[in-house]
Amino acid sequence: MRLKQIKLSGFKSFVDSTNVPFPQQMTAVVGPNGCGKSNVIDAVRWVLGESSAKNLRGDAMTDVIFNGSSQRKPVSQASVELVFENTEGRLAGGMADRSEISIKRIVTRDAQSNYFLNGSKCRRRDITDIFLGTGLGPRSYAIIEQGMISRLIESRPQELRVFIEEAAGISKYKERRRETENRIKHTRENLDRLADVREELGKNIDKLKRQANAAQRYKELKAQERKLKAELTTIKWLQYNNRFTALEQQLAQQQTELDKYQSQELGDQRVLLELKQQAQDGRQVLEKVQSNFYQLGSSISRLEQQILHQRQQQQTLTAQLQQAQHTLAQAEEFIATEQAQQAELQQQLAEDEPQQALLDEQLAELTEQLQQLEDEQYQQQQAFNQWQQQHFRLQQQQQQQQLQQQNQLSQLAQLRQQEQQLQQEQAALALAPLQQRVAELETELSYGATQVQQSTALHEQAQQAVQQQEQLNRELDAAQLQAKSELLLLQREQQQLQQQQQQKDGEQQQLLRQLQLKPGWAAAVALVLGQLQHAAVTEQLQATAQSMVSRNSCAAAPGSLAEVIVSGVYPESFNQIFCVADINAAQQRLSQLAAGHSVITTSGYWLGSNWCLQAGAQQQDNYLLREERLVQLQQELAAAEQQVQQLSGQYAAQQQALQQAQQQQQQALQQLQHAERTQQQQLTAKLLAQQELQQAEKLAQKLVTEQQQLQLKQAQLEESTEQLAMALEDSAEQLLQHEGAQQQLHSQSGNQQQQLQQLRAQFEQKRTQQQQLLMQQKVAEQQLSALQQSLQRARMQQQQLQEQAGTLTAKLQQDDEPELLLQEQLQQALLEREEAEQQMIAQQDQLAAVEQQIRELEQGQHGILQLLNKKRAELAELRLDAEGYRVRANNMLELLREQQANMKDVLAELAPDAEETVWQQQLDKTVDAVGRLGPINLAAIEEYEQQAERKQYLDAQNDDLTAAMDTLETAIRKIDKETRQKFKDTFEQVNDGLKTLFPKVFGGGSAYLALTEDDLLETGVTIMARPPGKKNSTIHLLSGGEKALTALSLVFSIFRLNPAPFCMLDEVDAPLDDANVGRFCNLVREMSETVQFIYISHNKIAMEMAAQLMGVTMQEPGVSRVVAVDVDDAVKMAAAS
């Protein structure tokens, strides 16, 4: 296996896609410093899985991406691909049959790193697993970079051991061992968790079992409760339904009587309706007559109103005509007056025009003089303002200095006051009481801690006592439940036996029923009796009844079966059967028996001279055995009841003891809590006191510091105050000089100001005259315009008044004729209203007679209506009762549906004589029984089954995990054994190789490897080297060149033992002189027969040794390029030329 080529793209300085081939066994990478030679080795290390950016000469993994240059932009990703030849099939596993293997790694700017194996995406671990045991890896001995030689020779024993392990190929064993240890750790953790779960699950299962039994009892009681509720509901339904049927019959009778009264009432109603119809018709006629009467009255009123309105309108028109004539005369007079005023105003305007022109000329001359004086005044004012500003600035400066002086004096007084206050505060601070208080609190806290410890011990003792009492309580509870269960089983067995005895008893007095036996002989007697068990006892033997037994009996023979009979008759053959203890005694007794005699045992063996019978299964179920068992059960029941009572008493006493222990525990807990609270309070008080003491100490220190600062500020303020006093004196002198010059300017400005005021007064006078004249002209013009408008309006009003007077005169002439016509219509309407009034009175009389008949008939019907109402009330009451019972019956049916019961099924099972009170009592008892069960977990049955199944599953898991632990521990022991052996063999071989190579490299001397410990799994490795002529005791005393040669000897010794596919050396010959470089080159040339070497060198001797030169240049700044030269081809070309 060898490295065929490297493909780089965007990796460090190899920004362009670059292919670096390695066709020869020895390739030298040459080039100037900084051109990117070491980046080739970094690329190989990076692809093989290096995860530390520091080992790649960077800070982050993204630093391997080309970051740009002066002429290139940064790229987004870096990729490196290694292509290997695997023609020898050195790689194990799935890659053994591949002749060429490609490994590629890509990293992007967002730190996403991906690995590819033969073009398929894979994990980093897949890459490292391929090269385990081959000597290749990101930090293996096959890649030796700059400085690694010195680090290798000076490495710690454990670090040097890694190279031996890699050479031994046990790195994969270490990885497997690490994984196995992790699995063992996880398995142990799982076992611990599983044990906790199983323990807790066991407690829950016991609890769930009790809850499941209670839930089953609860279900049975609830089923009985539902049945009783359904039957009780059915009983109530029967009662309500019967009552409803009886009420329905009464309703039918009452309805018949009501119908009779209603038919009588209907006859009277028909007559009454006819009369009411007549009254209604009379009212309609009366309403028509009244409507006509009222309409005539309205017409009369309207005509009278029209006549009155006609007369008022004539009076209004006459008044309006007179007013219009008067207004017309006033308008004509106003027009004449306005025309006279208009002529006067026009004459006044013509007279004011010359005077206005003269005033304009005088105002122009005064304006020019005023402008000249104002300019002079402005210049004077500017000069005065400048002096005044300077004066103001001097005053302001003086005021600021005075204010600053006052502030400083005030600050100085405050500082002196603060200094006095600080001295008082220092005197007031008393640290000694605070320190004493802290010491007292520490003593109290120590006592409180003792109290907490004592309370904790008491609480733990009480808690242990409660736990013990609870354990005893649970044991007694379990024993009590067990005893009650046994008692219940015995009672059930007794009931079953009694039922069997009752079922199999006949009407006759059978033989078995009057027999009383000694204990233990029931099986034997039943075997001997056989079919006689069912025989009846009579006074005389009858020929027709072979199974009958005579009452006449003889005395019992000694030792015979007859002695077993305590009372009752028995067959005479019992005196010929003798009783023995067991089968052995029976066999001994057989030889002594007379003819026709036999023996029998208590266990049911019946033996004769040449025969033997044994009580079988058919004899086990007989009356005698059941009677005997019933006697035993009575005794056992009495004992069981006594045991239950005893356990109940013990349980009650234990409950009381448990309550006392719990009270003691609660008291101890309260004591502990009180002690802890007291301790916490003491601790808080101590902390507060300490804080107060620390604050007081800090305050004292702060006061001293503040006092020093105040003294310093006081000195500075006193000095500043003296400086301000001097500055104030200078400002006062300047201000006096400035005030004299200002007074002179002020005097000159006053004279000019007086001349300017006189000229302005003349100007204002002329301008006032001009404005008055202009105002008079304007007023006259406005008056003239107003007179013209007023005159126009008056003429228009005159025309309108003339038209209005003509219109009013025409209307007065037209309104005289309509009034006569309205008078005639009024007389006709009065006659018609009188006729309508007579008709209305006649119709009212007729309607009153009909209404009198209706009232008389209604009074007669009142008695019938009262009787009908009474019947209806009785009928409604019966219907209400019937409806109530019907609703109750329906409610019972609805309740049955809610109870999911079928009426027919319940009636079929319900007893005919069922009573509500009896069923209600049974239901109450059942409900009470359900209530006594307490809280019930209905899901306990299903949960118990699930938890039991889970417990079984967890037990199986526990067994599996335990077996897995044993397997993993066996694997660890096997890995350790193989690792020890491989490490030992490799160490010895590498040590032998080092002993051989070292003298060859140095031309003499010796070197060897040593172990630091006896344990081959943990021991480190050290190297001892002694060049020719030296007896140094440590490797650190060697020179740089000697260290390099020693390290190369060790590396090449490892290569001889387990050669890696290739070896990469980065300037390892730098510290060597020419002689040692020659030895180094000879050694590399010798090993290149089996190992591919790729080395970086600046040494000419090393370059001459290479079969191929790989030049790395950097013509473009920051970008590396590769130039390959085959030395053999170059020699041939040189020879040919």
User: Please, which residues have CB within 8 angstroms of residue 416's CB and are 6 or more apart in sequence?
Assistant: 714
Instruction: Identify the three-state secondary structure at position 549.
Output: strand
Bridge partners (DSSP) of residue 1112 are: 1122
In one letter, which amino acid is 431? L
CA distance to 264, 272, 765, 769, 919, per residue, from 866 (Å): 13, 17, 118, 116, 48
User: Please, which residues have CB within 8 angstroms of residue 1084's CB and are 6 or more apart in sequence?
Assistant: 26, 1093, 1095, 1105
Nearest one of 41, 36, 30 to 14, comparing CA atoms: 36
Q: Is 385 annotated as contributing to ligand binding?
A: no
Q: Which helix (H) or strand (E) holds 79?
A: strand 77-85
d(CA 914, CA 235): 7
Exposed, middle or buried, 428 (CB in 10 Å: 0-12/13-18/19+)?
exposed
Q: Is 35 annotated as contributing to ligand binding?
A: yes
Q: Is 36 annotated as contributing to ligand binding?
A: yes
Q: Is 34 annotated as contributing to ligand binding?
A: yes
41 in Cβ contact with 1093 (< 8 Å): no
CA distance to 624, 930, 940, 941, per residue, from 216 (Å): 37, 11, 9, 8
Q: Is 1099 annotated as contributing to ligand binding?
A: no
Q: Is 38 annotated as contributing to ligand binding?
A: yes
Helices (DSSP H) in 429-506: which residue ranges? 431-504
Q: What DSSP letter does each residue of 1005-1060 carry, written as one string?
A: -EEEEEESSS-TTT--EEEEEE-TT---SSGGGS-HHHHHHHHHHHHHHHHHHS--
Q: How many CB atoms lie within 10 A of CB 404?
A: 15
Name the phi and psi angles at 24, rounded to 5. -105, 170
36 in Cβ contact with 20 (< 8 Å): no
d(CA 1063, CA 22): 12
Instruction: Identify the three-state secondary structure at position 599.
Output: strand
Q: Left, alpha or beta for 1027 (phi > 0: left; psi -120 to 50: alpha)?
A: beta
CA distance to 75, 140, 860, 1107, per residue, from 856 (Å): 123, 136, 7, 153
**Residue 532 DSSP symbol:** G
Q: Is 37 annotated as contributing to ligand binding?
A: yes
d(CA 396, CA 734): 13
Exposed, middle or buried, 902 (CB in 10 Å: 0-12/13-18/19+)?
exposed
Bridge partners (DSSP) of residue 1065 are: 144, 1095
Edge-to-edge strand ranges of the sheet holding 1062-1066: 143-144, 1062-1066, 1092-1096, 26-30, 1108-1113, 1121-1126
Q: Which helix (H) or strand (E) holds 802?
A: helix 623-814
User: Please, which residues have CB within 8 angstroms of residue 161's CB and are 6 or more apart in sequence?
Assistant: 1019, 1020, 1021
Nearest one of 385, 388, 378, 366 to 752, comparing CA atoms: 378
d(CA 579, CA 814): 169
Q: Which helix (H) or strand (E) holds 1123?
A: strand 1121-1126
Q: Is 884 annotated as contributing to ligand binding?
A: no
In one letter, which amino acid is 316? T
Point out the annotated binding site for ATP.
32-39
Point out the annotated binding site.
32-39
